[in-house]
Structure 1
Amino acid sequence: METPKAHLLKADLPGLEKEEVKVEVEDGRMVHISGERNLENEDKNDTWHRLERSNGKFLRSLRLPENAKMNEIKAVMENGVLTVTIPKEEVKKPDVRTVEISS
């Protein structure tokens, strides 16, 4: 999502703690979000009818736009949702001046 002041990346990561997720910023305007979700402990006496949780490693890489402030990226994990905030650089408006027309 893009707001007037920042780019926001959101990832639903239910069941993961912030220590299990890694956010890396790379030169070349790349952000990598990675982690691993392990299988729940199985009890030999339990009978599973259906398991709808994925497990294993995951990695998402995203190239950020030119106006991203790469040194000010922040990440917050709350209630299983990772939010990465990338502030935007101010876009300089062109310097416009009026020229007097002589006769």
Structure 2
Amino acid sequence: MKKEEVKVEVEEGNVLKISGERCGEKEDKDGKWHRVERSSGKFLRRFRLPGEDFVKVDQVKATMENGVLTVTVPKEEVKKPEVKAIEISG
């Protein structure tokens, strides 16, 4: 597929939507046979992402190379709780 045939969106703040339409036709001819193969149709996939506390939905990136779609969803840095040592008396 070509990148122009695929659409990547973030809906409702945390739903990754990948959609598109495939239009293809392959034709083979030889002296005796004529064959046409068509593969076309629309597709739609939705993935629910973790909340904004876990991912940076405003920084989602998509790339397509050699027909392979790569979607990158950066994670938020998890703030680790501060740990204090407590002296044990006794």
Offset from partner CA, 1:63-102 (integer Å, 9 cap, x none): 1123111011000010000100000011111111112345
Q: Deviations over 1:35-80 (max 9, x none)?
A: 001142769xx7227x4x6310000100112311101100001000
1:4 maps to: none
Q: Which has the larger radius of gyration?
A: 2
2:5 corresponds to which of 20, 37, 44: 20
Moved over 4 A (4+): none
2:56 is matched by which residue type in structure 1?
K
Residue identity over aligned pairs, in percent, reads 62
- Is 1:47–2:47 an aligned residue pair? no
Instruction: Please give the secondary structure, in 2, of the residue aligned with 1:57.
Output: strand
Following superposition, the deviation at residue 17 of structure 1 comes to: 1.3
TM-score using structure 1 length: 0.69
1:91 and 2:67 aligned = no
Which residue is 1:32 aligned to?
17
Among residues 68, 78, 82, which one is paired with 2:69 in the alignment?
A: 82
Give 1 or 2: higher strand fraction: 2
> What is the root-mean-square deviation in Å for CA atoms of aligned residues?
2.6
Helix, strand or coil at the partner of 2:35 = coil
Alignment correspondent of 1:11:
none
Instruction: For 2:14 and 2:20, locate their aligned partners in 1 and report how far apart those are by CA, in whole Å.
Output: 20
Gaps of 5+ in 1: 1-15
How many residue pairs are counted as aligned between the two chains? 85
